Amino acid sequence: MTFFDPARKISSLNELVAWRAQQKGNVVFTNGVFDLLHPGHIDILTKSRALGDVLIVGLNTDAS
């Protein structure tokens, strides 16, 4: 599954809505600051992925 061109970091709402309309099953979203990835991050991402068919991960800045 290709969501969008990885060279493009931002998608418009219309692009996301069109993409979602093509997906089957449940989409799970989680977000966080993952600059120093550790086992706790892997655990939450693994558990999040198990909750649905597609996992979308939002990346936050340290200041967020």
Q: How does pLDDT run across 2-57, given as a tens digit for each residue?
A: 555 666 667 788 988 888 888 788 989 999 998 888 999 999 999 999 999 888 88
Q: Can you give the pTM of this predicted structure?
A: 0.65
Which pLDDT does position 51 carry in this prediction? 96
Q: Give the C-alpha separation, 58 to 44, whole Å.
A: 13
Four-residue CA torsion sign, 11, 56, 22, 26:
negative
Is pLDDT at 59 greater than 90 in this prediction? Answer: no
Which pLDDT does position 30 carry in this prediction? 93
User: What is the DSSP secondary structure assignment for residue 4, as one 8-state letter?
Assistant: S
Q: Using DSSP, state whether 41 is helix, strand or coil.
A: helix
Which pLDDT does position 22 carry in this prediction? 86
